[in-house]
Amino acid sequence: MSNIFRHTLAPTLRRDDPSAILKLYNHGAVMKNKFVALAGAIVAMTAAAVPAHASDAQLGVISHVLGMSNGAVLFSTNGSRGPRPACSGAGLDARYAINASTLVGQSQLSAFMTAYTLKKRIFIRGTGTCSIWPDTETVDYFEIED
C-alpha cells in the first residue's frame, strides 16, 4: 500500500462502511486524472521548450539588405538553405533578420556590415522563429569566411 493511499484515503475507509469500495474507486480515478494532468503538463512544457525548426544557410554572399523602421535589418544570401521554419514567408527562401535595436543586434550588424562591404561569404544559423519580422527567420549567429 503506497504512502499516498495510506495518508489520503485509508483513514476514511471503514469495514462497516458500504460506500468504501466506491470511495476506493473514486480515489483511483482522481489519482489517474492527476497523473494524466501531470503527464500532459510535462509534455506541454517540453514542447514549449523546444524551438521551431531552426534553419541554416551555407556559405553565401549577402544581398538585398533592408533597414526597417523597427530596427530590423533584413537580408538575403545565395548560400543553399536547409528547411525553413513555418513562419518564413513564401518566396523568402534566403532571407534572415537581425534586430539592430538591441546591443546584441548592433554588435551582429557591425560584423555583418563588414562582411557585406568586403563581399565575404557568411554561414548563417537561424533561431527557428520570426520574432523580429513576421515572415523572416531571426538570425541566431553567423560566421564570416576567412
Angle, CA of 43, 28 and 24, to the nearest 5°? 170
Instruction: Write out the three cell numbers for 23.
Output: 470511495
pLDDT (average), residues 70-95: 89
Q: What is the pTM of this model?
A: 0.63
pLDDT-derived band at 74 (thresholds 50, 70, 90) equals very high
Q: What is the mean pLDDT of the chain?
A: 78
Q: What is the pLDDT of residue 83?
A: 85
Among 86, 90, 96, 97, residue whose Cα is nearest residue 52: 86
Angle 136-137-143 (CA atoms, 0-180°, nearest 5)?
125
Least confident of 15-19, 34-38, 78-82, 113-117: 34-38
H or E segment and range at residue 27 = helix 20-49
**Stretch 88-105: mean pLDDT:** 90
Residues facing residue 60 across a β-bridge: 122
Region class of 64: left (phi > 0), else alpha (psi between -120 and 50), else beta: left
Could you tell me the end-to-end alpha-carbon distance of the chain, in angstroms, rounded to an integer? 67
Kindly report the CA angle at 136 between 129 and 146, in degrees rounded to 5? 90
More reliable by pLDDT, 34 or 8: 34
Point out which residues pair with 101 in neighbouring strands. Answer: none
Give the domain ranges of the chain.
3-49, 56-144
Give the tens place of pLDDT for each residue, 20-67: 555 655 555 555 656 555 555 555 554 444 445 577 788 999 999 999
Residue 69, beta-bridge partner list = none
SS3 (DSSP) at 9: coil
- Cβ contact 130:138 at 8 Å: yes
The percentage of the chain sitting over the pLDDT mark of 90, rounded to a whole number, equals 47
